[in-house]
Amino acid sequence: MNYQILLSIFISVFLAELGDKTQLATLLFSSKGDVNPWGVFIASSLALVLSTAIAVLAGTLAQEHLKAIPLKLIAGIGFLLLGVWTVVDYYK
């Protein structure tokens, strides 16, 4: 197993998750006084594991079809659209 690839994946996902809506929602849940912080940690961790498992399964099943698609370009456009949507939603 190539540990450099695993480290690259870890760093990429970790940095992508910092400050995203999921992390902010988790922060807000844990800031409530009536919620157990360990419960928030376990529930949010399991949610992230499940969503990641779905993404890995979808990627594995679609790998033949995705070879011809410029995924970095599509992901970049998707992130830009989400950013524009967030800014527009803020000014509503």
pLDDT at 41: 94
Would the pTM count as exceeding 0.85?
A: no
Residue type (1 letter), 49: V
pLDDT at 49: 94
pLDDT at 14: 87
Residue 78 in this model has a pLDDT that exceeds 80: yes
Determine the Cα–Cα distance for residues 51 and 68; give it in Å rounded to an integer: 25
Read off the pLDDT of residues 9-67 as tens digits, 9 standing for 90 and up: 888 888 888 878 888 889 999 998 899 999 999 999 999 999 999 989 988 888 777 77
Determine the Cα–Cα distance for residues 16 and 67; give it in Å rounded to an integer: 23
Residue 1 in this model has a pLDDT that exceeds 80: no
Contact assessment for residue 30 and residue 42, using Cβ atoms and an 8 Å cutoff: no
Q: Which residues of 22-51 are buried (b: 16+ CB within 10 A; e: fewer)?
A: eeeebeeeeeeeeeeeeebeeebeeeeeee
